[in-house]
Amino acid sequence: MEFEVTEAATLLDLVEKAASFRRTASTIKNDASSRSHAICRIRIENPSMPNDDDGLLYLVDLAGSEAARDVANHTNDRMKEAREINTSLSVLKDCIRGRAMVDAASLTGKPKKPTHIPFRQSSLTKILKHVFDPAGRRSCKTVVVACVNPSLLDAGAGKNTLKYAEMLRVLLPKAKTQVYSPDVPSTWSNEQLKSWINSNSGSPAISGEILAPFETGALLLRLPTPEFLTRCLKIHGVTEDQARAFQAKFWRLHVDSQKSSAKLNEIKTEAEPTQEGVGRKTVMNQEMLSSSADPDPQTAKMPFKDRIRPGMVVRWTPPSTFPLGLPGLNMAVVLSPQPAVGPNVRDVSRDLVNDASKFTGGGNKYLCAMILPGFMADSYELSMWRHVVVDVDQMEAEVLLEYDAATRYYYMTV
């Protein structure tokens, strides 16, 4: 059962009400000993990113473990409860250590053997499954607060508590010193990362001070996607599409840097020999071949509607009668002006491409191919056989896409 909370007082009232249902009993050490664990789950919505998963904060108050000498005079029920509590705490310790070891291994590469995380062995850890499951896609952090009694009489119990907390620590492997490379983001320092962000994040520029106030390139790669996007959206004028495109660009640079074979920056093709018999070389930029950006960088200063060309990708708003409109982002790649198409050619809706009554308005019309979402996250694919006629008045903005040969999908860039 969930309750919507908008103020702190309401949250505290709900916590107190839930605590009243907690099971307690009298023991030798405590008059009102907790005989159960308490879990408070707070789901946090991000209004700026309604399509992303909500954040989850778990506050867990664990029942205290008891030594054998403290339960010697307990009833059978109390002793059974003590065994179950101690077992669940032991499983929780193994789960926290296991997940920490998996995260630590990711810093140095693939572990030699899979780490078993026994979250199914306790009801407590089953509830926290997505926190400990290595296959889960959520990025999680766990903080443990150990409470001890400063009384001299409880020095032994406090020492055992600290020993338990010490077992939850996992030492991170010492990071190898990496030599800076402009093409390898994981080698960038904070200043180098900020400089790259400021000059490669599009317009309006994303501030490196806001996106990465202290992170290095390696730390920014580990930043969860919602946090990455939230920081970008703090900058005036930056849209969610631009933030996602910039993150995809940053990650593609990282993935490319990890490939065993070096990426070719240029493709050289030998042209036909001249009359003098001397061959000449034509140099073509590899990135230009895989991007929808205009080959002439000077045209970027012009309004996109004044420089529409074949191969340009545009975001457009389909009419309400269009049967294949997508919720959210609709994109298409320009193929040719409408008059260049034959009189009997039909689009994906089976309508004539040159039907003058199809659209209203005095703008020019272009035959385009639809761009649809791909199977992978934030990826797109070109559907050349799904033709649509797009009026210039329906075009909202130019979208830059880059083709990734590894996944065979297109991704938005800036």
CB 180 within 8 A of CB 187: yes
The pTM assigned to this predicted structure is: 0.52
- Start-to-end CA distance of the chain, whole Å, equals 43
Beta strand pairing call for 313-316 and 331-337: antiparallel
Per-residue model confidence as pLDDT tens digits over 295-331 = 777 777 788 888 898 989 999 988 888 888 887 788 8
Give residue 276's pLDDT: 44
Higher per-residue confidence, 140 vs 11 = 11
266 pLDDT tier (thresholds 50, 70, 90): very low
Average pLDDT over residues 354-367: 66
Give residue 314's pLDDT: 92
Instruction: Give the Å distances, CA to CA, from 288 to 168, 317, 400.
Output: 51, 27, 11
Higher per-residue confidence, 174 vs 341 = 341
Q: Is the pLDDT of residue 32 over 80?
A: no
Per-residue model confidence as pLDDT tens digits over 113-148 = 677 888 888 888 888 888 888 776 677 888 889 888
DSSP 317-363: ---TT-TTPPSS--EEEEEEEGGGS-TT-B-TTS-BTT-TTS--SSS
Give residue 190's pLDDT: 92
Cα–Cα distance measured from residue 44 to residue 5, given in angstroms and rounded to the nearest whole number: 10
CB 374 within 8 A of CB 401: no
Write down the mean pLDDT value for the chain.
Answer: 79
When mean pLDDT is compared over 60-74, 97-111, 190-204, the highest value belongs to: 190-204
- φ/ψ of 40, rounded to 5, equals -115, 115
Higher per-residue confidence, 117 vs 23 = 117
Give residue 284's pLDDT: 40
Give residue 172's pLDDT: 65
Cα–Cα distance measured from residue 199 to residue 203, given in angstroms and rounded to the nearest whole number: 10
Average pLDDT over residues 86-103: 86
Q: Is the pLDDT of residue 38 over 70?
A: yes
357 pLDDT tier (thresholds 50, 70, 90): low
211 pLDDT tier (thresholds 50, 70, 90): very high
- φ/ψ of 394, rounded to 5, equals -90, -10
Least confident of 60-69, 199-208, 280-289, 346-355: 280-289
Give residue 77's pLDDT: 75
